[in-house]
Each structure stands twice: as structure tokens, then as C-alpha cells.
Amino acid sequence: MAMLIAEECILCGACEPECPNQAIMEGEEVYEVDFDLCTECVGFYDEQQCVLVCPVDAVIFDPDHRETREQLKAKYLRLHPERQAIGGWD
């Protein structure tokens, strides 16, 4: 599932530059995650980088956008076709 930035967000901006898919952008009240771009860092990292850097633990899994690991892999390959040959999936 995609990530969601909850109302606890303090707009510090730590998460935005960490997203390898550029799925995080500043919103009016909190930072926002573009579901169509979020792969939960699949294809880049073992852990969600936005979760690791958030100082107030405001980044959570979005229950309205559940995706399997296979769906996240497919999204990653759609977003980054040049990385198709890298593979390395578990």
C-alpha cells in the first residue's frame, strides 16, 4: 500500500528529498504522497525512507491504497523502465 502522511506532520520537509520516486510534495496542511508514484521504496530500499526520517512518526501505511509486493514491483518497473534489467527481487 502507499504511504500516507498524517495530520501529525509538522511540515519539516525531511521526507520529500528522501523519496526516490518524487511522490512526496508539500500540501497546505501536511506533506502529501501521490499514490500513483509511491512504491514504498520497492526497487530502491528495503525500508520506506520517509518513515525512517520523519521526526514525529507521521508517515503511515495508507489503508485505502493496499498493494501487494508484486503490484509495487510492477509500479516501480512502470515508473523506471530503464531499471528493468537490474532486477534483484526476492
The answer to the question of residue 90 being in a domain is: no
pLDDT for 38-69, tens place per residue?
Answer: 999 999 999 999 999 999 999 999 999 899 99
Show the domain range for 64: 3-83
Which residue is it, cell 532486477?
Answer: 87
Phi, psi of 25 (to 5 degrees): -140, 155
- Whether 29 has a pLDDT exceeding 60, the answer reads yes
d(CA 75, CA 65): 13
Q: What is the CATH number of the domain that holds 18?
A: 3.30.70.20
Check residue 82 and give its pLDDT: 86
Number of domains the chain is built from? 1
What is the pTM for the complete model shown?
A: 0.86
Q: How sure is the predictor about 90, in pLDDT bands with cuts at 50, 70 and 90?
A: very low
CA 81 – CA 12 distance, rounded (Å): 32
Task: State residue 80's pLDDT score.
Answer: 92
**41 with 48: CB under 8 angstroms?**
yes
